[in-house]
Structure 1
Amino acid sequence: MTALTVATWNINSVRLRRDLLHSLMDQAAPDIVCLQETKVPDDLFPEDLGTALGLPHVLKRGMKGYNGVAILSRLPLTAVEDTPDWCMKSDCRHIAARIDTGTDPLVLHNFYVPAGGDIPDRAENPKYGHKLDFIAEARDHFAMNRPHRTMLVGDLNIAPLENDVWSHKQLLNVVSHTPPETEGLNAWRTEGFIDAIRHFVPDDQKLFTWWSYRNRDWRASNRGRRLDHIWVSTDLIGNLARHAILQDARDWERGSDHVPVVLTLDL
């Protein structure tokens, strides 16, 4: 068997925080890094970054100032070209690749789901409606294209379980944990995936990947949410080896408000 380690991280600007990727490599030694909120158009993406990290194969899909996703890999990548234009917005929230693992290729999806604004009402807040529509489209897509040898990672911007937030009761009407969001995300996941991190961490344990910049002492208050996820198709359950949440990355100098999530498969 060969171990394959994949990390996902909402980096909140790849040009601003590119040096922190070396810390990620030192701590987790991933073979593949998936980034969200790269916030850079493709022609300005730092071309030397992959080589500097030992991840020379790079795919990216970006735009100026917002959104953006990228995959950096030690192994060769082939872009999946026929991905949907989610909600017909062409807003650089998804990229997919086939990974040359030496046997059957592994398909990797990297998502940045819309945050959804502040008001959990479709009529008052079109951003919330966009988020719900995005999730529904993704669910329908994978219902029609059942995943096989597939990983899905990214900032899905939803904490789906009660213990994925610091207070289930207080956040039920807060965007990222409202019932329409959590029900929608869970419906998407059940179209052929399992929650790989919760495979290792029981549902009754608190688990967070994001702490607001507004929290000056985020460790003391620990008002976190699990917004960053790794799913695998059900045929890969037996390949799950280990996971890591790099919580200390929240204290990296000029760090993101998200921390990297890491999964290792034995293939």
Structure 2
Amino acid sequence: MSILTVMGGTIMTDFFRALLDPDLGFLRNALLLGLIGSIPLGAVGTFVVARRISYLAAAIAHSVLGGIGVALYAREVLGWSWLHPMLGALLAALTAAGVIGWVSLRSKQREDAIIGAIWVTGMAIGLLFISRTPGYVDPMAYLFGDILLVTASDLWIASGVGALIVAILLLWHRQIVAVCFDAEFAAIRGVHADRIYLLLLLLTALTVVTLVSLVGIVLVIALLTLPPAIASLRARSLGQMLIHSILFTSCFVFCGLGLSYALNLPTGPTIILLAALVYLLANAVKRVCGN
């Protein structure tokens, strides 16, 4: 145990020193983005887990690649320098959320097949546009994250999106909670359950975009669901679950970023693997202890 403590202390010490290095601004940007994104990610993730719509959130997340690919192509070929890849991702995510919400509420066809089609179509569009973009664009960086992609403009976008999400949650949190636990009863009480459900999907779309550049499209859904799942094991109320989820997400981002820097590992997978290990350990402890 003492050896692990010394190793952990050394890793964190090196990480803190790196954060103060003027030549490693990208590392500070990545940490700031992770901490900013932890708030909406932990909050919205709590409702996603409570409503059990993780598969819908995954479809929305994967559709983001289409918006990124179109934005990169438009910047290089059409000269639309104002179209930031994260803005393209945001538009694609909101579009996918709207379509998926409409399908899940209105369509009489197999919901899973349609959502799966939206999932893969978004990725296919993104890869096609990336392949036609002049120069070298590595799609793996967007799929699994790359801290070198994090820029100051990403921080501003994430801050604005995060503030919007928090404001919406403060305004409609009671209705969202009601729909998450019993949509039919909420509708009887006068809540527009379908609208609130669609709002939750739109919030999910906004949320996944905030950390796409850090952990990637494929992995962001794990960071959206694992911290709330861990928090749910001990939380006695949805409010406790939400707060603990935000704290867990922040901790995973900070520790995962530190480990990835010290051990020269990919940042996104390191953060997610850390969260997954904690989730498995928490489940094991709960089974052994009983409560």
Which TM-score tier does this pair reach, normalised by the shorter chain?
A: under 0.3
Output the TM-score relative to the length of structure 1. 0.26
Question: Rg bigger for which structure?
Answer: 2
Greater strand content? 1
Q: As a proportion of its length, which structure holds more helix?
A: 2
TM-score between the two structures when normalised by the length of structure 2: 0.24
